[in-house]
Structure 1
Amino acid sequence: MTFSIVARSADGESLGVAVASKFLAVGAAVPAVEAGVGAVATQAHANLAYRPEGLALLRAGADAAGAVRQLVGADAGKEVRQLGVVTPNGPGATFTGAECHDWAGGVAGDGYAIQGNILTGSGVVEAMEAAWLASDPAATLARRLLAALAAGDAAGGDRRGRQSAALLVARRGGGYGGQSDVEVDLRADDDARPVDVLERLLGLHELYFTRPDPATLLALDGELAAEVSGLLAGLGHTGEPDTALAAWAGIENLEERVVPGRIDPLVLDWLRKAAG
């Protein structure tokens, strides 16, 4: 009833899971990720114990294939399970029990594992693998995972329909302000087009929580400073451009994109829209 990908970034520092299903709040059941350790997806008749137990095995030194072997080997219900595991290095591993509902199966390679059940056909997994392999290694893991998930969705996905999707990525110090390892944690729990919702949410996440590209920053002086000051004044923020901009950006949750003496084009666009 679900299709997912577990994978790592090209540098091995980010680990994550993207998943979609005709199932309420699939993000609450399938994915588990720990920075520097690994990522796990448990689905079909999901055994939720696979999540903490799988991460514990990886933490203790098991590779992806070894973790899969140990988890399913100790599970009397393994034939109705599906599982994907990836670690910071080496190949990913996937398992599909013989009694999972058709179509069910998976593929794995260096740094990824893809699996699905009750799908429209094998083309879903094939499309996901092709999208993953074609994605830019320099792109963020969240973007690469979402591209693979979207490809599976476009190829037919869960044959029963759509309901929820989730994206979970961890990286040491990758969270807000560098104070957590949760780099991305987004969910669409009940929606007719959940993968599209994830796309929108990831765009907002990137706007709010990533820092601007220094090469794109604009000098906050001359006519641009005058425009920015005028727009901010109309929104009730007066004073020196830097001070007023920082005050407004804090209200809009754009503080990660504030650079003294300059302005991010994305922030400028947001300001212009806010000011009407």
Structure 2
Amino acid sequence: MTFSIVGRDPLTGDLGVAVASKFLAVGALVPFVRAGVGAVATQSYVNPTYGPEGLRLLASGRAPQEIAATFRAQDAGFEQRQFGLVAADGRAVTHTGQQCHAWAGGLTREDVAIQGNILTGPEVVDAMLAAWEDAQGQPLPRRLLAALRAGDAAGGDRRGRQSAALLCAGPGRGYAGLSDDWVNLRADDHTDPCAELERLLDLHDLLFGRPQTTRPLTPDELDWLRALLVRGGYAGTLAGGSWNAETEAAAWALYGTENLEERWVPGGEVDPAALAYLREKFGS
């Protein structure tokens, strides 16, 4: 009833899972990720203990194949289960039990495990692998989502669509660089959940991405920003001329309201992505 991809970025060490299903809130049960340790997708009569237990065993030094053998030995329902697991060093394993509903199967390569059940056919996982390989070099969330969308376009869950999720972690990737938890997005009940997930990722990248480039505000842009700040109630009046402390305080308050703190640049500089967002929202 689910198709998923578990992947690792070999350049950055980032780890993540993308999953979609005709199932309510699939992101609540399937994906588990821990930076520097590994990532797990557990599905098909899902055993949610596979996630935390798989990560615990990876952290203790167990290899993915050993973990699969442990699950087999300890779980009487193992042949109903399906899971994929990728370690922090790129070793991967996928399992499809003999009692999973057709079509069911998966494949692995270094850094990736892809699996699904109740699919339209093997073309779903084949399309996911091709998209994963074609997206090499993209940030991990984008690469995982490209694979998920390819699987969806190839037929996906043969019962239909309902939910999708994307969970990624990497060293210092979290908000303000204070945690490893990076992307945690879910479309819990949606007619086109993979497309909704892409919209949410675009918004996530805007609001929580950090400036790639900065530049000084032009005089016209500074005039526009000051007018916006006064109109929005962030300042009573603002003197013209060069950037000053009053303008900076009002602009910082605006950025806080719009959740753009990660894109804030002080001293009259600007992140072009943040400026484009403000101009689109408030008019140029």
TM band (smaller chain): over 0.9
SS of residue in 2 equivalent to 1:166: strand
1:72 maps to: 72
Of stretches 25-34 and 260-269 in structure 1, the one that deviates more from structure 2 is 260-269
User: 1:140: Cα distance to partner?
Assistant: 1.4
Q: How many residues align?
A: 273
Conserved in 2, the CA contact under 8 Å of 1:27 and 1:189? yes
Partner Cα distance (2:129, 2:13) in 1? 21
Of stretches 54-63 and 222-231 in structure 1, the one that deviates more from structure 2 is 222-231
User: 1:273: Cα distance to partner?
Assistant: 2.8
Q: Tell me, which stretches of 5 or more residues in structure 2 are unaligned?
A: 239-243
Conserved in 2, the CA contact under 8 Å of 1:12 and 1:88? no
Which of 239, 245, 250 in structure 2 is aligned with 1:244? 250
Q: Does 1:257 align with 2:263?
A: yes
Conserved in 1, the CA contact under 8 Å of 2:8 and 2:86? yes
Q: Does 1:232 align with 2:234?
A: no
- Superposition map of 1:68-107 within 5 A: 68-107=68-107
For the aligned residues, what is the CA RMSD? 1.4
TM-superposition CA deviations, 1:160-214 (whole Å, max 9, x none): 0000001011113221122222101000111111111110111111111110112
1:150 maps to: 149
Partner Cα distance (1:87, 1:38) in 2? 4
- Superposition map of 1:165-176 within 5 A: 165-176=164-175
User: 1:12: Cα distance to partner?
Assistant: 4.7
Partner Cα distance (1:40, 1:231) in 2? 47
Q: TM-score, normalised by structure 2?
A: 0.92
Q: What amino acid is aligned across from residue 246 of structure 1 in structure 2?
A: W
2:32 maps to: 32
Partner Cα distance (1:90, 1:143) in 2? 18
Q: Tell me, which stretches of 5 or more residues in structure 1 are unaligned?
A: none
Conserved in 1, the CA contact under 8 Å of 2:170 and 2:182? yes
2:241 maps to: none
Q: TM-score, normalised by structure 1?
A: 0.95
Structure whose alpha-carbon radius of gyration is higher: 2
1:19 maps to: 19
Partner Cα distance (2:156, 2:56) in 1? 31
User: 1:149: Cα distance to partner?
Assistant: 0.4
Distance 1:200 1:53, change over 3 A: same
Q: Does 1:52 align with 2:52?
A: yes
SS of residue in 2 equivalent to 1:70: helix
User: 1:20: Cα distance to partner?
Assistant: 0.3
Conserved in 2, the CA contact under 8 Å of 1:231 and 1:272? no
User: 1:64: Cα distance to partner?
Assistant: 1.9
SS of residue in 2 equivalent to 1:16: strand
Partner Cα distance (1:112, 1:65) in 2? 14
